[in-house]
Amino acid sequence: MSEKPTRPRHLRGPIAAPATSARCRAKHGPAHRQNRHKSHHQAAQAQKNGAAPPALRRMRVLAADDNRTNRLVFGKMVQEADIDLHYAEDGATAIAAFQQHQPDLIFMDISMPGIDGKEATAQIRALPGGTIPIIAMTAHAMQGDREQILAAGLDDYLTKPIRKADVLAHTAQNQPANTPPPLPSATPP
């Protein structure tokens, strides 16, 4: 497992957030977005009143993919985001990285040797804090694949080749309240 923090950069254009999956809406509900916005609003109010704002940390993202080239491409896609990016090359390493780094968001390849993405997701879900968003990255695009992947506990689904705009949109959409926006043009919902 290797880790590579990315550096903040300015985006050249706005990123549109994808529609939230029904599973994510059911799990987090509208209060999740309101609480994130409320926290950012409270931080702004604290600064106005002269009080110290709550400490912010960078968003932590884990990308699990057995293909080294795919990991490199993923890193290039998110290099403009102000995030701490960690990599895992298989399901077992993804589980260990989840426990070590406590990511806020995971992008999980489905077809990996040993423990695949579905099984890794199931094991992460059983761990404390395992309710974080996990987005599938897969070449499986046959009818029924999406439903099977979502039924396995993943929150959403990206087909390969993945698009930079989709990755950045999921990253911005899943920003925790105690982190600054991962994208310079992103504002809290």
pLDDT digits (tens, 9 = 90+) for 140-181: 777 888 899 999 999 999 999 999 999 999 999 999 999 999
Closest to 125 measured CA to CA, from 32, 23, 30, 56: 23
What percent of the chain clears pLDDT 70, i.e. is strictly above it? 69
Over residues 105-113, the mean pLDDT reads 96
Domain ranges, ordered by start, for the chain: 21-173
Q: Where are the beta strands (DSSP E) in 111-161?
A: 134-138, 156-159
Distance CA(134)–CA(132), nearest Å, equals: 6
Closest to 90 measured CA to CA, from 104, 109, 69: 109
| CA dist list (Å): 76 to 16, 60, 79 | 19, 16, 5
Q: What is the pLDDT of residues 9-53, one digit of tens each?
A: 433 333 333 333 444 444 444 433 333 444 444 555 555 666 555
Over residues 59-86, the mean pLDDT reads 96
Report the chain's mean pLDDT, rounded to a whole number.
Answer: 79
For 21-173, CATH number? 3.40.50.2300
